[in-house]
Structures are given as structure tokens and as C-alpha cells.
Structure 1
Amino acid sequence: MNRILTILFFSFYVSISFASSPQVSDYLIFKNDTIPTYNLLVEQYLQKIKDDKGRLFNLSFRNSIEGTLGTSLNCWRGYQAIYEIKNDSLFVNAIIDCHSLENKNQIPENYIKKLFGEKVQNNRVFIDWFSGNISFPTKRTDNKMISWDGVFERIFMYENIIEIENGAIDKISEQQNYVDLKNGIDRLDRDNIINALFDRIKNYKWTKKDKFDCSELYTVTIGKNGKISNVVMTEYQTEELIEEYWDTKREYNYCVKSIQKALRGLQFDIIKRKGMPIESSVSVEIWFNEDGTIENWTE
């Protein structure tokens, strides 16, 4: 029994670690530059294949295509792909083992034929399964990363956006992914966002401090337009949890709605992804003291 529990615990730990560890990028060859890219186009193709033999997707603890190396927490997919834009088309040129490019004295083994079979033409595969936009950072001295999910995707201030239809390049343009609004609150610094939220919460006219205790961790969503679009209690988002842990639904509703009202009217700058506005969430934890003062407990 202890051995089984140990195996289960290890599997759970590795699953969480794979899901939360920063992941290495694929690469894109564009105009003689080799650029890290965070668009998993080969993975999209692999997810359509039913028989993967536990190797190439679904977090199967693969760390190499042959499955012979130890676990690699920062390369859960088990390979890196190298793409190329050529003649207004997008191709994949190579499928290599994770980190094999780091060995400068050895040419990485290319598994493209093993994976794609007859789809390989002239040592490359036309990516006809993908339609959409991919992006990579623009080469300029004032460029910088403005957002990172902590695992894989990075968003830069200036990016080249490539619009693709079934593997064919429709358009390539440079986009700015941050809109600095005249009266907008800066979103490049997380502490600045937290401080703006807490300042509104602290100065809100709380009417029932003596009846309801709203000390909690809240998840605040900033919408595509830079305004607050949603507020929830991070740990109580189902009817079952609310009923189990809160004295009354009335108290829960009061706290959430009060936070929403306190944050109403805030305007943040706008963040984009691949040139399109996106929403993002931030956590803020507040604590109500018995004397009525409010503290910011956000970590």
C-alpha cells in the first residue's frame, strides 16, 4: 500500500510540476533569424492523432521522442519544433529532442519523417492544418516583455503578427500590444495594479462592517477594454462551497457586490495578444480589523 501511495503521490507531483514549470520554446526561422516562438503548431497536429503510444502528447511524462531520458519539467511535450517561413508559406523543418540545440558539437537528430511520414516533401512539412495568427517579438531596442503566464506564453510590447490561412501567409504586420490610455492605470507593474485596486477598496463606504466580515482573497478580472469585468471570491466559486463555508448567502453576496461597486469606474491601460485586446486576472487579499481599518494582505 505504501509503495502504491508513493507512486500516486509522485505521479501527482510530476503532473503539477509539468503543468506549472516554465516551458522551453519552439523556434521559427524568418529572414535568416532563428526566433523563439510560443505557438505550438505541431502540438495542434499531434492532438488530432489518436494513437500516440504515450509519447507525444497528453502530458505522458515524455521528455524525449525516444522516451529514454529522465523527466524534464520544462519540456513536457517531449520535443522542440523548428518552423520556417519561406515563399509565403509556413513549414515545419525539424522535430528534435528537447535541449538538443544546446550541444554545439553535435547536429540534433531530426524525427520529422518518423512523425509525419509521407507528408514530408523536400525535408519539410507544409503546415496546412493551421489557420490563425502567430507572433514573435519585433527586433527593436525599446521592446520588452509585458506579460507572461508563468509557464509558456510571453507577450511583448512590439510583435510581428503573421496572419495564416491553411499554412499560407496572408499578411505580416508589426503590432503594439500595449495601449497607454490618457487616464489609464499602468498594467506593466503588478504592484501598481494591486495598489490601485486596494486604494478603491479601502476608501469605499462600507456600511456593514459590524455585521459582515469580508476578509477574503478575491480574483479581479480586467476586461478587454481595461475596465473591471468580474469579481469572484477565489476559493468560493460554487454554490456548494458557498453554502458550506459561509453563514449566509446574503453575507457572501454583500462582500462580492461591495468589491464590485468599490472598483467600478476604474480604467486600466489595455493589453493585447497578437494585436487583439485580452482580459487578465489579478488576485487581491484584504483583511478587515475589528477597529474597522482595512489591510492589504496580497502577497
Structure 2
Amino acid sequence: MNKLIFLYSLILLSFLQSTSYGTPQFPDYLIYQEDTFAIHCNPLESYFEGKERPEFEFLSTACWRGYIAFWEIIDDKLYLIKLENELGDQLDLSFFPDWSYNDIIHADWVSYSILAPYGKKLNYDYNSYSTVCEYEKEFFFKEGVVLEVKDYDNSKSKRSKYTTQLKLLYQFFDENIDYNNINLAVFDSVSKIKIYVRVTDVSEEGKVKEVEILRGADSLINLEAIRVLKSIPEWDVIYQRGKAIPPNYVYPILFKKQ
């Protein structure tokens, strides 16, 4: 991997990746074969399960957990090599039994996979570690020992103009709703009806296959909303771990009194 390109990708991921908190979170980092990846999980949190969690001082909402952990795979084993705050100050690991300064910790509690995205950002999910990049590595561990490393190519992902330019999407809704399919009596007491929908399945060609009504109205309006969405010429096709995944965006559709 080109180290300069990788460095810029790493800095970008630092600010764009996020957890369920409202502010994008600084990720942990994993060193593997001289490359450093921003990863999509925080393995130290699973160590704290069932234990009293140390009180790390957080300096901003961009790092609610109060630390940034650096991990490295050495001789096919996962180690915690250092802990820092957002300013780069090193934190001690005294919550580990028998720890002494500069010790590294074998992460033998890790028996799951860790995803490491890199390359061009293809799809940004603000609220979780779900941002999709052009390539990914997935490291599979059992008791902190590497079982397998998989490489994924997500480069077939493509974005739709209707999701990247929402003005076009809402214009499409306005121009393609057929009010002949609706019982107009629903507008006797209101001038507009807004429902919320989510596309849950898309073909590899970008055709909408399934739509979920999250907050609907009567059955005819719901059916018309589904029909209109399925008629959109192109939709996002996003790959993660090398496979197409359903989008997770929610959109309002506005029906107006005619």
C-alpha cells in the first residue's frame, strides 16, 4: 500500500468513523505488516466486560471512551502496545494485573473478528463503525491468536445521484406520485401527509427491490410510496466485506392535497 496515500486515508478515517454517539469518534489502530489501519471496533471494551471499568478522562466528545488504543499483530498474536488520549499523551495500563511500564499485553480475550477498512471512502455512515471503504481486511482471532486474514474488494460500490443530491430525489417523488392511485378523501382534513420509508434491498444493478414503511398512512398511500421508490432508475449499490449490503437511509415522502 502506498504509505502517503494510506496516511491521508488514516487521518480521514480518524475524523469520519463513529460509534453510536452523536459525534464521530477517533478509532483504535491496528499495526499489521508495517501498515497501520484504523479499525471498526474497540477490543479493550470487551476486556472490561464483567470488570470494573477504569475511569478514563475524555477531553472531547470525539472520544467518549477516553482513550485511543494501539494494537499490533506480532508472530500471529494480537497485542495491545500502548494507550493514548486524544492529545497523544501515553496512558498506563495498570488495570492489567502485573503490568509494568512499557509492557505489551497479549489480547487473549479477543475471540472475534476485527474489520480494517482502507482506501477510498465509498459510503459514510455517521452513526456507527459502518463506513465502507474501497478495500477491507478482516482479522479473525481466537484467544488473541490470528486464525485467518481475509481481504475484501468493495470497489464495485456505486452511489446514485438521487441519494447524493437529495433535491433530485424529492423532485422525483413530486413528479412521479400518481394521485389517481390514492383515495383523495384522506386530504379532507389535512393539506399534506408525510410518511417515512427505507429501502431495504437493492439489486446489483441498482434497482430498488424492497421498501419498508417506517411511518405510513393508509394502505393506498403506502403502496404508492413503494411503487414510486421502486420506479427510481438507479439507487446506491454498496458492498461491504465484498458483498452487497442493504442501504440504511430513511427518507420522507410528502403527499400534498391536489
Above 0.5 in TM-score? yes
Alignment map for 1:76-225 (pairs within 5 Å): 76-96=64-84, 98-101=85-88, 108-112=89-93, 114-118=94-98, 123-138=103-118, 143-151=119-127, 153=129, 154-180=131-157, 186-187=159-160, 190-191=163-164, 195=168, 199=172, 202-206=175-179, 207-208=181-182, 210-213=184-187, 215-223=193-201
Residue 114 of structure 2 aligns to a residue in which SS?
strand
The answer for the alignment partner of 2:52 in structure 1 is 51
The residue identity in structure 2 corresponding to 1:76 is W
| Cα displacement string for residues 235-255 of structure 1 (whole angstroms, at most 9, x for unaligned residues) | x7xxxxxxxxxxxxxx53332
1:262 aligns to what SS in structure 2?
helix
Instruction: Give the Å deviation of 1:201.
Output: 7.1
Structure 2 unaligned residues grouped into runs of 5+ = 1-19
Q: Does 1:288 align with 2:255?
A: yes
Gaps spanning 5+ residues in structure 1: where?
1-17, 57-61, 64-70, 102-107, 237-250, 292-299
Q: Deviations over 1:212-266 (max 9, x none)?
A: 35631413133375644332245x7xxxxxxxxxxxxxx5333223312333476
Structure 2: which amino acid aligns with 1:253? S
Q: Distance in 2 between matches of 1:231 and 1:197?
A: 18
Distance 1:78 1:135 in 2: 21
Q: 1:197 to 1:89 in 2, by over 3 A?
A: farther
* Count, aligned residues: 229
What TM-score does the superposition give when structure 2 sets the normalisation length? 0.71
* Distance in structure 1 (CA, Å) of the matches to 2:178 and 2:163: 25
- Residue identity opposite 2:239 in structure 1: K
In structure 2, how many angstroms separate the alpha carbons of the residues matched to 1:45 and 1:224?
Answer: 38
Distance in 1 separating the partners of 2:112 and 2:161: 27
Name the % identity: 19
Q: Distance in 2 between matches of 1:133 and 1:19?
A: 22
- Root-mean-square deviation over aligned CA pairs: 3.4
Aligned residue among 21, 25, 28 for 1:26: 28
TM-superposition CA deviations, 1:69-96 (whole Å, max 9, x none): xx51111011111100111121111222
Contact 1:92 / 1:125 at 8 angstroms: preserved in 2? yes
Aligned to 1:230: 211
Q: Secondary structure of 1:254's partner?
A: helix
Aligned counterparts of 1:90 and 1:166: Cα–Cα separation in 2 = 9
In the superposition, relative to structure 1, how do residues 29 and 271 fare at CA in structure 2: closer, same or farther (>3 Å)?
same
Change (3 A) 1:176 1:79: same
Whichever residue aligns with residue 133 of structure 1, its letter is S
TM-score (ref. length: structure 1): 0.63
Q: d(CA) in 2 for partners of 1:131 and 1:276? A: 23
Q: 1:197 to 1:189 in 2, by over 3 A?
A: closer
